[in-house]
Amino acid sequence: MLIVKKFGGSSVADKEKIYHVAQRCIEDYQKGNEVVVVLSAMGKTTDKLIELAKEMAPNPSKRELDMLLATGEQTSVACMAMAMGALGVPCVSLNAFQVAMHTTSTYGSARFKRIDSQRIRHELDSKKIVIVTGFQGMNKYDDVTTLGRGGSDTTAVALAAALKADACEIYTDVEGIYTGDPRVVPNAKKLKEITYDEMLELATLGAKVLHNRSVEVAKKYGVQLVVRSSLNTAEGTIVKEEVDVESMLISGVAVDKNTARIAVIGVKDVPGTAFKIFNLLGKHNINVDIIIQSIGREGTKDISFTVARDDVSEVIALLEENKSRITAQRIEKDETVAKVSVVGAGMQSNPGVAAKMFEAIYNAGINIRMIATSEIRVTVLLDEADADNAMRAVHDRFIEY
Amino acid sequence: MLIVKKFGGSSVADKEKIYHVAQRCIEDYQKGNEVVVVLSAMGKTTDKLIELAKEMAPNPSKRELDMLLATGEQTSVACMAMAMGALGVPCVSLNAFQVAMHTTSTYGSARFKRIDSQRIRHELDSKKIVIVTGFQGMNKYDDVTTLGRGGSDTTAVALAAALKADACEIYTDVEGIYTGDPRVVPNAKKLKEITYDEMLELATLGAKVLHNRSVEVAKKYGVQLVVRSSLNTAEGTIVKEEVDVESMLISGVAVDKNTARIAVIGVKDVPGTAFKIFNLLGKHNINVDIIIQSIGREGTKDISFTVARDDVSEVIALLEENKSRITAQRIEKDETVAKVSVVGAGMQSNPGVAAKMFEAIYNAGINIRMIATSEIRVTVLLDEADADNAMRAVHDRFIEY
């Protein structure tokens, strides 16, 4: 069996942890499996490198930032290979150039285009454990790229697809995917299985266990994932195309506090206004989430939407600059909001999920500010201060114990 | 003019120093020159990475050690590019893979085989300052190699040769090459020029300003070097094929305390004994320096030689193992010795240099243990405790003020 195993930065933060991971990989190897290990940078290395970059230049070149950040994973794969070597197991570390992991050219958020499997195949054939740098790639200019935060998950899934691996295991510091954040909802339950689509909604909504892009790639290439703990051998959560129809109505409740509401007040009620606003933001790579358009006074309307908090100042600046073109009377922002969502493939065939959710929130005495829905998700925007209570109320309403 | 400028680790140890180096490079660039900058790892980074490796494994894989060490220079070139970028100058950092700096396969002490100039040429044509990682290369397996301590000098010279640069400047924390170590000989003089051969003898003998291999490469490809200070704009020392015939008789006095004397006592006085001993050491990559053979008692002879102190325990073990084969009665070592040498191309046509040197040492009341000479060098072995005094005495005798 060919197994791709991915370990995050906290799992390889120091010598002891590296040896622990090495042992786990060696167990699989000694059972006769082919093992490919994908690693993130050790501990807080990436944060420290970003600090170093900001020290060097207030606004460092994105190309050079990727060049710098890539040293983090190169350090961790070399250390892991030293550890496995000391344990007497043949192994080799490879960086993105050595594998040849080709990506698009966008520094800081590159996407895989093609991964050569030849070098890894050769090393596996030589009976070595292969240890690959996560998070990084090379573009058509032979420059170093990175995939963005959490990108090592995507590396693991893309490698599993390229190598036609039999298993892709994502190790983390929790035991799997839960129906809610266990820190907020003490009785959250671990899911046995979840679909790619549900996982995508949860990842987007801030569940933070799996990198969103990794789930997209897994879905596209049909790579079945297991999310499990690097600390124990508990069964994790399987992420796959379809799950048992008898499974729960909803698979999880997520909270996302990294959100802000922007309101564009009093724009002319003529065609094309919304297009102008969102085209402007799209050109600047700003992701917009919930959008609400409401009728204002005297032939005007108000357009509200949510964006990530990091983007707020840029969004406000852009809108103010273009205020007359988009015919806005006033721009407002509110950074004290949060999103609570229920996600579940089951809700497609079960009407009334939204109503049940609103009821739970109403019973908790919490006011809903905006609402958005997809086929497998219902999201409400509410005051950040109410978010955790709302999450517990919704979780209690849907998850059976 | 195409200028290759090399800065060592202490010249790029922190933000302030990096900006200082950036400014110096930008000055040349703004005068219309093409500028290639070669950097070592920042400050003590390489030492720290070696410590990390030793923490990971008592005897880390050499391949993986090179993989780890190479992150040091990648960090410094990225930081430098960020600094130059912040100063508004177009620039790009390149690692050994991106340039394609092909080396032999020996990890830890690789040698350049071929350097592609295409990528650097392309970046220079785009009016960028090109910042290249020193010390590292890639071998035929696409694996990372390093050149050994001080290897960044060699990178600079090899790049200058490959790019047919008009100048190759090695920046260091001293102002050039001196007739003696200024810490030991307070009135040591800075040399205006020195030949490759003299520099090679001085580098080998512990002058430590230039990496030996870099001088060999410079000589082979006729790359004229300038050694100068990164802290001021004083004229440095030019290293080239031939210097002014009017130059000083000797160019410098060097002390090397990293030496030990090994004596193989009472070997049979038959042909082939010396061959057996030095063939054995050669096979184990041990460099032997001064060799003396003297007649012993009753048809035996004694063979003495010097090696670096790091090699002593290995040498003793090898000789003891093969004691009967090399017909030795006893093996002795002495680690309290040092070498003092005078070097000068001028001595070829000036007999009596050795006599003058011995006289100076005799006058200082110091005993000479062994003597070795080459065409442009006279070396004596003496007690380590006498080394500095001997150096001052010899320096005073030869260097005019």
Tell me whether residues A60 and B92 touch, CB distance under 8 A. no
Q: Is A143 touching B (CB cutoff 8 A)?
A: yes
Of A65, A78, A98, the CB nearest to B64: A78
Mean pLDDT of A363-379: 88
pLDDT of residue A174: 85
* Contact between A64 and B93 using a beta-carbon 8 Å cutoff: yes
What spatial distance separates the first Cα and last Cα of chain B, rounded to whole Å? 36
The dihedral sign for the CA sequence B5, B10, B16, B18 = positive
Bridge pairing between strands B252-256 and B337-343: antiparallel
Give B52's contacts in chain A (Cβ within 8 Å).
Answer: 75, 79
> Which pLDDT score is estimated for A288?
87
Q: How far is CA B49 from CA B16, B68, B125, in A?
A: 23, 7, 35
8 A C-beta contact, residue A250 and residue A347: yes
Best mutation site among A65, A66, A71, A89 for testing chain B: the one with the most B CBs within 10 Å?
A71
State the helix-helix crossing angle for A212-221 and A151-162, rounded to 10 degrees: 10
The alpha-helical segments, DSSP class H, found in A251-400 are: 273-283, 312-321, 353-363, 387-398
Instruction: Determine the Cα–Cα distance for residues A77 and A115; give it in Å rounded to an integer.
Output: 18
pLDDT value, residue A292: 82
Please report the number of interchain residue pairs, chain A to chain B, with beta-carbon separation below 8 angstroms: 110
Per-residue pLDDT reduced to its tens digit, A281-320: 988 888 888 888 887 777 888 899 999 998 999 999 999 9
**Does the pLDDT of residue B246 top 70, yes or no?**
no
- What mean pLDDT is reported for chain A? 91
Q: Among A16, A18, A68, A94, which would you mutate to test the B interface (most chain B Cβ atoms within 10 Å of its Cβ)? A: A68
Residues from chain A contacting residue B67 (CB–CB below 8 Å): 74, 77-78, 81, 93, 95
A-contacting residues in B 25-54 (Cβ below 8 Å) = 49, 52-53
Q: Across the interface, which of A49, A55, A92 has its CB nearest the CB of B15?
A: A55
Mean pLDDT of B199-215: 81
The CATH code for residues B2-172 is 3.40.1160.10
- Encode pLDDT of B308-358 as tens digits: 998 999 999 999 999 999 999 999 999 999 999 999 887 877 778 888 899
Q: What is the CATH number of domain B337-398?
A: 3.30.70.260
The token pair that represents B396 in the structure block: 């005073």
Task: For residue B18, count other CB atoms closer than 10 A to its CB.
Answer: 23
% of chain B with per-residue pLDDT over 70: 97
Asked if A302 and A263 touch (Cβ cutoff 8 Å), the reply is yes
In this prediction, residue A26 has a pLDDT band, given cuts at 50, 70 and 90, of: very high
Q: Is B93 on the interface with A (CB under 8 A)?
A: yes
The stretch B260-287 carries a mean pLDDT of 88
Torsion sign across C-alpha atoms B152, B153, B155, B160: positive
Find the CB nearest B79 among A56, A86, A142.
A56
R_g over Cα of chain A: 23
Q: CA angle, B163 as apex, B159 and B164 as ends, to 5°?
A: 110
- Nearest-by-CA chain B residue for A51: B79
The secondary element (H helix, E strand) that includes residue A77 is helix A62-86
Tell me phi and psi for residue B267, to 5 degrees: -80, 155
Task: Please determine, for residue A249, whether its predicted confidence score (pLDDT) is greater than 80.
Answer: no
Write down the pLDDT at residue B249.
73
User: Which overall architecture, per CATH, does domain B260-334 show?
Assistant: 2-Layer Sandwich (3.30)
Q: Which of A38-47, A251-260, A262-271, B143-152 has the highest mean pLDDT?
A: A38-47
Q: What integer is the mean pLDDT of A199-205?
A: 80
For A98, name the nearest residue in chain B, comparing CA atoms only.
B142
**Choice among A119-133, B4-18, B98-112, B364-378 with the minimum mean pLDDT:** B364-378
DSSP letter at A385 equals G
Residue in B79, B87, B119 to test binding to A, most A beta-carbons within 10 Å: B79
- Looking at residue A95, the DSSP 8-state letter turns out to be -
pLDDT digits (tens, 9 = 90+) for B89-126: 999 999 999 999 999 999 999 999 999 999 999 999 99
Q: What are the tens digits of pLDDT across the range A313-329?
A: 999 999 999 999 999 99
Residue B145 sits at the chain A interface (C-beta within 8 Å) = no
Q: Is the dihedral of CA A116, A120, A123, A124 positive or negative?
A: negative
What are the sequence ranges of the domains in chain B?
Answer: 2-172, 260-334, 337-398
Q: What is the mean pLDDT of chain B?
A: 91
**Cβ pair A93, A78 in contact under 8 A:** yes
Partner residue facing A64 (CB), from B60, B82, B97: B82
Could you tell me if B55 lies within 8 Å of chain A, comparing CB atoms?
A: yes
> Could B79 and A63 be called an inter-chain contact, meaning their C-beta atoms sit closer than 8 Å?
no
CA B338 to each of CA B179, B289, B382: distance values in angstroms, whole numbers, following the listed order: 18, 12, 6
A93 touches chain B (CB under 8 A): yes
- How far apart CA B89 and CA B68 sit, in angstroms, is 30
Measured between CA atoms, the residue of chain A closest to residue B22 is A56
H helix or E strand, kind and range, residue B130: strand B129-133
Answer yes or no: is pLDDT of B245 > 60: no
Give me the residue from A52, A65, A74 closest to B71, CB to CB. A74
Nearest 5°: phi and psi at A302?
-115, 135
Chain B residues with CB under 8 Å of A143 CB are 98
- The yes-or-no answer to whether B2-172 and B260-334 have a common fold is no
Confidence at residue B206, expressed as pLDDT on a 0 to 100 scale:
64
Asked whether the predicted pLDDT for residue B286 surpasses 90, the reply is no
Tell me if B98 and A142 make a contact (CB, 8 A cut-off). Answer: yes
CA dihedral B191, B193, B198, B203 (to 10 degrees): 60
The partner residue sitting opposite B85, judged by closest CB among A64, A68, A97, is A64
ipTM above 0.85, yes or no: no
A393 min Cα distance to partner chain B (Å) = 48
Angstrom CA distances, A141 to A137, B119, B123, stand at 11, 10, 11
Average pLDDT over residues B18-22: 97
**Which is nearest to A65 in space by CA: B340, B85, B139?**
B85
Instruction: Please state, in angstroms and rounded to a whole number, the distance separating the CA atoms of residues A37 and A73.
Output: 12
d(CA A40, CA A52): 18
- Percent of chain B at pLDDT exceeding 90: 68
pLDDT at B223: 95
Residue B192 has pLDDT above 70, yes or no: yes
Please state, for a pLDDT cut of 70, what percent of chain A lies above it.
97
- Tell me the C-alpha distance between A368 and B338, whole Å: 84
Q: Tell me the chain B residues in contact with residue A137 when contact means C-beta distances shorter than 8 Å.
A: none
Contact A64 B78 (CB under 8 A): yes
Q: Is the pLDDT score of B240 beyond 80?
A: yes
Exposed e or buried b per residue across B239-254, where buried means at least 16 C-beta atoms within 10 angstroms of its C-beta: bbeebeeebbbbbbbb
For residue B139, pLDDT over 60 is answered with: yes
Closest listed residue to residue B381, CA positions, set B296, B307, B293: B307
Q: Which residue of B has its CA nearest to A49?
A: B75
Residues in chain A: 401
For B138, phi then psi, to 5°, come to -135, 140
Pairing of strands A377-383, A370-374: antiparallel
Most confident stretch, A92-106, A297-311, A353-367: A92-106
**What confidence score (pLDDT) does residue A247 get?**
58
Report d(CA A377, CA A398) in Å as an integer: 13
Nearest C-alpha in A relative to B67: A78
Question: Which of A218-232, B155-169, B176-190, B238-252 has the least mean pLDDT?
Answer: B238-252
A156-170, A267-281, B381-395: the lowest-pLDDT one: A267-281
pLDDT at residue number A207: 66
* Distance of alpha carbon B339 from alpha carbon B308, whole angstroms: 11
B82 touches chain A (CB under 8 A): yes
Over residues A227-237, the mean pLDDT reads 92
Residue in B61, B65, B75 closest to A71 by CB = B75
Q: Which residues of A are less than 8 Å from B86 in CB distance?
A: 56-60
**What would the mean pLDDT of B22-43 be, rounded to a whole number?**
97
